């Protein structure tokens, strides 16, 4: 009876978090997540309530995206950190770039639900795919169609992780409505498609499949960073002396990288740029923020590199302590190893907090087999990212530092488990 009351109260808080313009409700959930014992059985009704809440929230987002009259409903779906009138802005701009390719220089375009009017050409800062593909269609209609398709694919990928009888059902319910995921969906950045597609293909086909290789090659042309996973697979094959598909991965990765360089990636603005501190994610982005916020850009980019190297050394030192402690070391499958390594490759640079969403796939083995406190800590990180704007500077800076520390600890944990998997266990 007591656990039932606790569960119902937590469900009520989650619904409040979903529907009451969850600017501060994410932070309000943190003490509840930390101090409430979540290891108890949920009834079917309680589980259905935890499913219906996110469904209703995302329905609200998609319905309110269709009309300017529903602007208040759209804005109320987002924390103050990333509120904006533009619907699925990242995807709109990507598709506009493809339309610019068709019409050429001088074509005038506008971004739906904004006052912005621009002219071609412009650069979206993505991979070679967007330099050579052309379309001539209604951008807004295509944005809506692709947004629904990408979101559906993402939900399907989550269904492969979260089962109805999962003991972490409550925590996953919080992750699915947490600010980073809402941020990603409201921006409809291509990352949502990339994360879901890679997870599904590795889950269904494994890395030893022409389908997975073709997907990674295509995604690398679209967003560049999936090529990291191709090189991780190559490294794994050399280390384990498993040379199936090795030549194909070697040819594909080198050819893809060559085309990326040919397209001018080193000579355009396709570089990591610091987001504002409360929305930052990734070691390089943190380094840039420290440089901008505290060093006032004095000394140039070399300070970014020094801070980056210092953070990396700290993470490696923490991973060494974790590995020797053994309490947080678990057995990984090969697919789990690849997803964790891919997450860490993105974490090295990143920029906006919505890329934290990839951790949902990388942290799965720890959510299922790891320490209960760790599962709570991961949930807290999602509730801290991105932070709502807080006028009290001391509290605001403390929460940013806390977010960075948790992020670095989780990265160190993953590194320790990767080392254990590679050098202490036989790879499956």
pLDDT tens digits for range 253-273: 999 998 888 876 554 554 556
Residue 132 has pLDDT above 60, yes or no: yes
420's tokens: 């254990």
Domain end residue (candidates: 113, 146, 179): 146
Query: How many CB atoms sit inside 10 A of residue 169's CB?
Result: 18
Strongest mean pLDDT among 43-57, 76-90, 202-216: 202-216
pLDDT of res. 9: 67
Q: Is the pLDDT of residue 77 over 90?
A: no
Q: How many domains is the chain built from?
A: 2
Q: Are residues 154 and 139 in the same domain?
A: no
> Are both 62 and 113 inside the same structural domain?
no
Q: Which among 348, 363, 354, 279 is positioned nearest to 309, based on CA atoms?
A: 348
Does residue 428 lie within any of the structural domains? no
φ/ψ of residue 38, rounded to 5: -100, 5
Q: Give yes or no: residues 131 and 215 share one domain.
A: no
- Across all residues in the chain, what is the average pLDDT? 85
pLDDT value at residue 7? 67
Verify that 101 and 51 share a domain, yes or no: no
19 and 128: one domain? no
* pLDDT value for 267: 47
- Confirm whether 52 is domain-assigned: yes
320-368 pLDDT, tens per residue? Answer: 999 988 788 998 999 999 999 999 999 998 889 999 999 999 999 998 8
Domain boundary at 98, 126, 146, which?
Answer: 146
* Residue at 360 is within a domain: yes
Residue where the block lists tokens 């360089």: 261
Most confident of 122-131, 173-182, 391-400: 173-182
Do 134 and 208 reside in the same domain of the chain?
Answer: no
pLDDT at 241: 86
pLDDT at 428: 46
- Pairwise CA distance, residues 145 & 150, whole Å: 9
Domain match, 171 and 96 both: no
In-domain check, residue 202: yes
81 DSSP 8-state letter: G
Q: How confident is the model at residue 39 (pLDDT cuts 50, 70, 90)?
A: low
Domain boundary among 128, 146, 164: 146
Residue 416 in domain: yes
13, part of any domain: yes
Tell me how far apart the alpha carbons of residues 249 and 215 are, in angstroms, rounded to a whole number: 12
Same structural domain for residues 77 and 87? no
Q: 58 and 90: one domain? A: no
Question: Tens digit of pLDDT for each residue in 290-329?
Answer: 887 777 666 667 788 888 999 999 999 999 999 988 788 9
Residue 123, domain extent: 82-146
Mark whether 86 and 181 lie in a shared domain: no
Full-model pTM: 0.91
The verdict on 305 and 414 lying in the same domain is yes
Q: Do 194 and 272 have their domain in common?
A: yes
């Amino acid at each position: 009876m007591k656990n039932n009351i606790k569960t119902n109260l937590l469900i009520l808080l989650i619904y409040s978090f979903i529907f009451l313009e969850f600017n501060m409700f994410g932070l309000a959930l943190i003490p509840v997540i930390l101090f409430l014992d979540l290891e108890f059985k949920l009834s079917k009704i309680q589980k259905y309530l935890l499913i219906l809440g996110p469904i209703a929230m995302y329905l609200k987002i998609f319905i309110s995206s269709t009309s300017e009259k529903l602007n208040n409903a759209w804005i109320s779906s987002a924390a103050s950190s990333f509120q904006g009138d533009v619907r699925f802005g990242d995807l709109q701009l990507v598709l506009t770039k493809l339309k610019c390719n068709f019409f050429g220089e001088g074509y005038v375009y506008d971004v739906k639900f904004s006052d912005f009017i621009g002219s071609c050409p412009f650069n979206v800062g993505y991979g070679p795919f967007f330099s050579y593909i052309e379309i001539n269609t209604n951008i807004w209609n295509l944005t809506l169609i692709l947004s629904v398709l990408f979101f559906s694919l993402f939900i399907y990928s989550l269904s492969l992780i979260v089962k109805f009888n999962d003991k972490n059902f409550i925590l996953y319910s919080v992750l699915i409505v947490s600010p980073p995921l809402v941020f990603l969906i409201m921006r409809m950045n291509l990352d949502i498609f990339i994360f879901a597609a890679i997870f599904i293909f590795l889950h269904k086909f494994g890395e030893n499949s022409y389908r997975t290789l073709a997907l990674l090659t295509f995604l690398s042309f679209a967003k560049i960073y999936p090529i990291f996973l191709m090189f991780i697979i190559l490294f794994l094959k050399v280390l384990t002396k498993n040379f199936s598909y090795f030549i194909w991965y070697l040819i594909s990765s080198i050819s893809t990288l060559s085309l990326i360089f040919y397209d001018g990636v080193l000579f355009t603005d396709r570089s990591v740029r610091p987001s504002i501190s409360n929305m930052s994610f990734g070691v390089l982005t943190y380094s840039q923020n420290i440089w901008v916020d505290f060093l006032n850009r004095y000394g140039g980019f070399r300070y970014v590199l020094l801070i980056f190297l210092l953070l990396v050394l700290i993470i490696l030192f923490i991973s060494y302590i974790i590995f020797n402690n053994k309490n947080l070391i678990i057995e990984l499958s090969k697919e789990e190893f690849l997803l964790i390594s891919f997450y860490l490759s993105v974490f090295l640079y990143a920029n906006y907090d919505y890329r934290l969403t990839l951790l949902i796939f990388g942290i799965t083995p720890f959510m299922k087999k790891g320490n209960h406190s760790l599962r709570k800590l991961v949930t807290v990180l999602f509730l801290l990212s991105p932070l709502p704007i807080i006028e009290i500077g001391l509290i605001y800076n403390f929460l940013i530092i806390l977010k960075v520390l948790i992020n670095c600890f989780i990265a160190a944990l993953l590194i320790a488990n990767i080392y254990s998997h590679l050098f202490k266990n036989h790879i499956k």
